[in-house]
Amino acid sequence: MTNQEITEKFLSALRKYLSGDIMIDEAVEESGLKSRKQFQFRIKSAYAHNLIIVRRRIDPEKGTKVREWIYRSRGIAKGMEVFVIPDIPDDETFFSAVAEKFLGFLKELLSREDKEEINIGIVSGTGAADTVKYVVKEGFWQEIMGGTKFKGTTKQGKEKSINIVAICSTNLDGWELDGNANISTLLLARMLKENLPAFEVTPHGISTELVVFEDASKQVDDRPSNKIILQIVDPKRADPNSKDKSKLDILIAGVGSSKDSKNVLKKVIDQEMNVKVPEKVVGDVGFWAIDKDGNIVEIRDDEHRKLQVYSLITPEIMRELAAGGGIVMLIARNHRHDETVSKTIPIRAAIRGGYGNVIFTDEDTANELIKEPL
């Protein structure tokens, strides 16, 4: 189907149908088509050709209420952004809204004439992976960015580059692709290469076992691919003599709940490794176990050896980024994929710990969050 087949007559009928002025059969008749199937097919084609745009609703008033709640409780709302998608949205509505905001943040970075290098980190998990899924959805870049052109050089004439880095992995028999940051990194890099041909875009995958003991983490850090990522994410960890700060501009992460049967800490450490996760753990952020106050909780086996879901970012770096001008996106809600998993307590804990400065949630979860002081 070509653009010419999407007539003004059809678009007029579609606008009336979407606004509720007419029913679908009336819209079919007004558009001059013969069946609902033809009408629905025209809708898909018009969307694919960017002739119609579906906007995702984010309720600014509800986001402001959450920010005020944070400020009243902790006085830390400076620089904090909260985006609340109304009602209990379906996955497409929710993650399309998050994806649109991510591209908004990226647009600001791409438009900066002095910005030579942009660095984006992706934490494994369904929240980050589903966000990337909608960012790379066919036609989504054109819909959000429109015809905006971005210069591939700075005002000093230096070439601009984008690094997409995986922060932690989910390599476990039977669910290697479930939210794996390596996969998300490749998908995002491919989409950016297609739409930003003037930029050098490089994906960096992580090489690691899922869980490591503390005494083995340095060896994993020293793997060549991980070393490259650490030079971006945590230069001092890559080289103790370095005085550089983290170069990350955006980090995309979720918040896990210990009550979730699919939670990595519960599924891997508790069930697979038979090491008891402490009762005080309410969830995790960036795969670091946290208590209700946002403090990091150590997990040790019977021999008192410390275990950690391997991550190339520490809680300290997350705090530094959130407080120092970086964008740390925490994506969490009580409702996902047609199931309910309470994340209210771990979201509160992540905010208390200062691990993020951009929160995405739905209206129901937001209402639960502000029921008691932070």
Digit-coded pLDDT (tens) for 246-259: 999 999 999 999 98
CA distance 300 to 343: 24
Strongest mean pLDDT among 14-18, 53-57, 65-69, 298-302: 298-302
- Tell the residue number behind the tokens 């925490």, with chain if given: 330
CA distance 327 to 249: 6
CA distance 228 to 232: 7
Identify the band that residue 1 occupies on the pLDDT scale cut at 50, 70 and 90.
very low
pLDDT of residue 170: 67
Strongest mean pLDDT among 19-23, 55-59, 195-199, 261-265: 195-199
Higher pLDDT, 314 or 15: 314
CA distance 298 to 284: 12
pLDDT of residue 77: 61
Residue 53 has pLDDT above 70, yes or no: no
Residue 271 has pLDDT above 90, yes or no: no
By mean pLDDT, which of 18-22, 102-106, 354-358 is the weakest? 18-22
Per-residue pLDDT reduced to its tens digit, 156-173: 999 999 999 999 876 555
Residue 316 has pLDDT above 50, yes or no: yes
Per-residue pLDDT reduced to its tens digit, 188-236: 999 999 999 999 999 999 988 888 898 899 999 999 999 999 999 999 9
Q: What are phi and psi of 128, to 5 degrees?
A: -70, -45
CA distance 87 to 84: 9
- The reply to whether CATH 3.10.20.90 applies to domain 58-369 is no
CA angle 303, 306, 309 (to 5 degrees): 135
Question: In this structure, what DSSP letter does residue 153 have?
Answer: B
Q: Is 324 helix (H, G, I), strand (E, B) or coil?
A: coil
CA distance 167 to 230: 9
Residue 178 has pLDDT above 80, yes or no: no
Q: Give how far Cα 348 sits from Cα of 128, 196, 280, Å.
A: 19, 37, 14
Identify the band that residue 26 occupies on the pLDDT scale cut at 50, 70 and 90.
confident
Identify the band that residue 2 occupies on the pLDDT scale cut at 50, 70 and 90.
very low
Structure tokens at 312: 């190339």
Using alpha carbons only, how large is the chain's radius of gyration in Å? 22
Structure tokens at 76: 């830390």
CA distance 292 to 258: 11
Q: Is 29 exposed, middle or buried (0-12, 13-18, 19+ CB in 10 A)?
A: middle
Considering the chain, tell me which residue range(s) the CATH 3.40.50.1360 domain(s) occupy: 58-369
pLDDT of residue 78: 66
Identify the band that residue 76 occupies on the pLDDT scale cut at 50, 70 and 90.
low
Q: Give pTM, 2 decimals.
A: 0.84
Identify the band that residue 132 occupies on the pLDDT scale cut at 50, 70 and 90.
very high
Instruction: Tell me the sheet residues that pair with 362.
Output: 85
CA distance 268 to 178: 14
Residue 74 has pLDDT above 90, yes or no: no
Per-residue pLDDT reduced to its tens digit, 282-306: 999 999 999 999 999 999 999 999 9
pLDDT of residue 154: 94
